[in-house]
Chain A
Amino acid sequence: MSRETYSRLEARGFWALAFLGAAVALAGFLAAHAMETSGHVITGMNNQVVWGVPHVFAIFMIVAASGVLNVASIGSVFGHAVYKARAPLSGLLCLALLSGGLFVLMLDLGRPERVVVAATHYNFRSVFAWNVFLYSGMFTIVAVYLWTLMERRMAPWSKPAGLAAFVWRIILTSGTGSIFAFLVARQAYGTALLIPMFLAMSFAWGLAAFLVVQSTMYAWNGLALPADIQRRMRNLLALFVVTVLFLVAALHLVNGYFAKNLAFERFILADGGVYPVLFWGAYVVAGSLVPLALIWRPGSTARDLVVAALLVIAGAFALLYVFIVGGQAWPLDIFPGYTTSSTFGDGAIASYAPSLPEVLLGVGGLAVAFLITVVGVRALRFLPQDDLPAAPAAAPAGR
């Protein structure tokens, strides 16, 4: 594919979108400022649910950032030309989502102005500290990878750079899963299964995010996604969605077998109010089964694929909400065998209702990712086009 064949967004539309993104990002920033000034008391978080909606947004974006790079990996590492044409867009989306996720994660800190402390003081026993390195490393590697993809002279380096990005993002998502896997205290977490589960989630959510952006860009330019590419990406999304469902089912089945975890599983899956509704209704049915039906139904259209991808993303938020908030709402089993009560919520299910500032912060993070994507697509050539012959300079891609 020739670089000259990429298209650009129209100027007026670009400015409108950029302004919208910047305005929402600014609203998120101001919400974070209010949280910093007044304290987290203005959020729904408390001493039992210490991570709330901002973490749901941040972790979604960080996990999806890694997965969205899958498209590039299949192109560069495994040499599929169709995916290689999409590698630059995949890299851009990775940087955009990672920036959005970190925007939320940093601004949700109790002391966001101390982010420099986090960058200069490291406790290497902490999974969180590893993640700081993994995030900054990801930015560097993906930036170099994008350079090799977009600068003709660097093209021979695109395969090694792609391989480095592939390995790094697997480690990065393992690190994100490990944040929860390494928690000994809470019944919802503390299992190595979370690492492959997070990897599968990243594949599904990243591809869904990619499909939404890709179809928007194609529609914007009045183009249609070639049927063959549609079919491949549709099947890939279905495979990832099924994998996540399988791992989520395995987690709950094994957990539910342990008598000590039975009450917790019943809470999450049956009688925990909003959590089972989100789990079954929003994640399993709307976020997994309906997308699979849309993908596999006879005569599935391009529009079906976009709706499926959007539903997968909505389901991701529901699953993360249940996993993060629901997992904390259930009280710690500090005294097994006893019924407990105290002024500090012992033995009681914690209530959590997200407040406007924290929702705005989360949405602000999405806006940051959106803004970076819009500006990136405008400034550089990211739109994939497959219906043209490969340019002679295009590196050793293709099967």
Chain B
Amino acid sequence: MSRVDQGRRQILAWGAAMAGVALAPGVTLFDLAHGRAPTEPASSKVRWGMLVDLNKCASDCDACVSACDKENGLPTEKTATSAQWIRKVELKDMRGQVRSLPMMCQHCAEPPCVDVCPTGASFKRADGIVLVDRHTCIGCRYCMMACPYKARSFVHEPTTGQRPEVPRGKGCVESCTLCVHRIDRGGIPACVEACAATGRQAILFGNLNDPESEIAKRVASYATTAVRADLRLDPGVRYVGL
């Protein structure tokens, strides 16, 4: 074998090794991702949703709220100007009976926030998750005027303690992303996980379009409520016991 050939072989070997090093993290990530491949687009075959059981949700528990704040790097102090992606709402009916439920973006199939957004920054993914593109949001707040659930927050203050997976920015509007960064890795939203950890398991997460999924079965067999059902927005978040 000539010296030139040997040199070529060595270059090829180094090249292969380097390609291996470069690809390895991607392959590992691909392996970790039980949901879908990073290059695969979200599919409309899936409709992510949540079912909240008020009978299991305790008034004095805000595990879901704390988990959301931590996961998404949100301020823990609750003021009129702070971003609150999920909140506990206390409901008192005419008999004085008090119940509590978590309220967040309802990920509507017909989201008014998406309709009114002038730049298209508010958008709905094929799998039903309603998001804000932080690059095209101009901070006009029209979506906040349009949302019937008061689910959106405007970032009034400079942001601190941001999480790499959850970019935030002063002057933009934001809301619950259904922990899309977790879902795309095959995980579940932080609030669902935290609620389960308390042992209450009041929030069930899953694919509403899969008839075999637990959430689809429960929605099919129990009376569930869509908040402001009169508006016919077909929210992806449903409630039991409301």
Interface residue ranges, A against B (CB under 8 Å): 36, 38-41, 45-48, 50-51, 109-112, 114-115, 117-118, 121-123, 125-129, 131-132, 179, 182-186, 189, 328, 332, 334-335, 337-346, 350-351
Contact = CB atoms under 8 A, between A and B. Distances in A.
A39 B155 contact: yes
B120 A121 contact: yes
B156 interface: yes
Interface string B83-123: 11001111111100000000100000000101111111100
22 contacts: A36-B171, A41-B81, A45-B154, A45-B156, A47-B153, A51-B145, A110-B137, A110-B173, A115-B138, A123-B119, A126-B118, A126-B142, A129-B119, A131-B118, A184-B112, A185-B112, A334-B89, A334-B103, A334-B149, A335-B227, A337-B94, A343-B84
Interface string B216-232: 00000000000110010
B153 A110 contact: no
B227 A128 contact: no
B141 interface: yes
B119 A118 contact: yes
Nearest to A350: B80
The 5 closest A-B pairs by CB, nearest first: A110-B139, A110-B171, A128-B118, A185-B148, A46-B80
A110 B170 contact: yes
B125 to A, nearest CB: 16
Given A128-B118, A183-B146, A110 B87 contact: no
A186 B146 CA distance: 8
A47 B92 CA distance: 23
B228 A46 contact: no
B170 A334 contact: no
Band of interface residues on B:
35 or more
B31 interface: no
B147 A185 contact: yes
Contacts of A184: 112, 146, 148, 231
A50 to B, nearest CB: 4
B-side interface mostly: loop
Contacts, number: 175
Contacts of B173: 110
Contacts of B120: 121-123
Nearest to B170: A39
B56 interface: no
Interface string B36-74: 000000000000000000000000000000000000000
B136 interface: yes
A332 B153 CA distance: 15
A337 B103 CA distance: 17
Given A46-B80, A46-B81, A115-B138, A186 B231 contact: no
A122 B172 contact: no
A111 B139 contact: yes
Contacts of A109: 138-140, 171
Nearest to A119: B119
A339 B84 contact: no
B191 interface: no
B157 interface: yes
B119 A111 contact: no
B61 to A, nearest CB: 14
A127 B116 contact: yes
B117 A338 contact: no
A342 B80 contact: no
A355 to B, nearest CB: 12
A338 B93 CA distance: 5
A123 B118 CA distance: 5
A40 B172 CA distance: 11
B148 A125 contact: no
B54 to A, nearest CB: 11
A346 B154 contact: no
A123 B150 CA distance: 22
B217 to A, nearest CB: 27
A185 B117 contact: no
B158 A39 contact: yes
B237 interface: no
A47 B155 CA distance: 9
A111 B145 contact: no
Contact of A340 (B90, B119, B155, B157): B90
B3 interface: no
Interface string B153-175: 11111100000000000111100
A186 B116 CA distance: 14
A339 B136 CA distance: 37
B138 to A, nearest CB: 5
Contacts of A344: 78, 84, 87, 89, 103, 150
A338 B91 contact: yes
B145 A185 contact: yes
